[in-house]
């Protein structure tokens, strides 16, 4: 997916109510005290909040609110939470769409329209 026009690796996390973006994904954001509760039960403090533009190769795009963190979480610069999933039209997962004879299929990477 593209985050603010930059092709970015993202983790789709249906257990997260909000999208979480590393600072490098955000062109502008507001510093404020905000935290999230991780699946392990630990509180993780964020740097602030912002808005990013998301775009998928299938054409869907949306502006979404994000929590801004200073380092990657789980090794991903962007975590697509439920607010982003819903804004992009939702998601349906079908095994046949993900695998072909046991091989993983990579989605095509097409740049967002200008």
For position 74, which CATH number holds?
A: 2.40.70.10
Residue 6 included in any domain: yes
pLDDT in tens, 63-72: 999 999 998 8
Residue 38 included in any domain: yes
Residue 13 included in any domain: yes
Residue 24 included in any domain: yes
Q: How far is CA 17 from the centre of its chain?
A: 11
Which residues span the domain enclosing 44? 2-104
Dihedral sign from CA coordinates of 49, 92, 73, 56? negative
Residue 109 included in any domain: no
pLDDT in tens, 5-55: 999 999 999 889 999 999 999 988 999 999 988 888 889 899 999 999 999
- C-alpha dihedral, 9 to 12 to 13 to 17, nearest 10°: 90
Q: Check residue 41 and report its DSSP letter.
A: S
What is the tally of structural domains in the chain? 1
């Amino acid at each position: 997916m593209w985050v603010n026009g930059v092709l970015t690796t993202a983790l789709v996390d249906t257990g997260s109510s909000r999208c979480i973006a590393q600072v490098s994904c955000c062109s502008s954001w507001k510093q404020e005290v905000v935290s999230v509760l991780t699946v392990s039960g630990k509180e993780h403090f964020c740097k602030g909040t912002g808005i990013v533009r998301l775009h998928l190769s299938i054409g869907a795009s949306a502006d979404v609110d994000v929590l801004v963190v200073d380092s990657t979480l789980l090794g991903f610069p962007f975590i697509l939470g439920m607010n982003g999933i819903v804004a992009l039209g939702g998601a349906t997962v079908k095994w046949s769409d993900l695998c072909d004879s046991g091989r993983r299929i990579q989605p095509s990477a097409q740049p967002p329209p200008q």
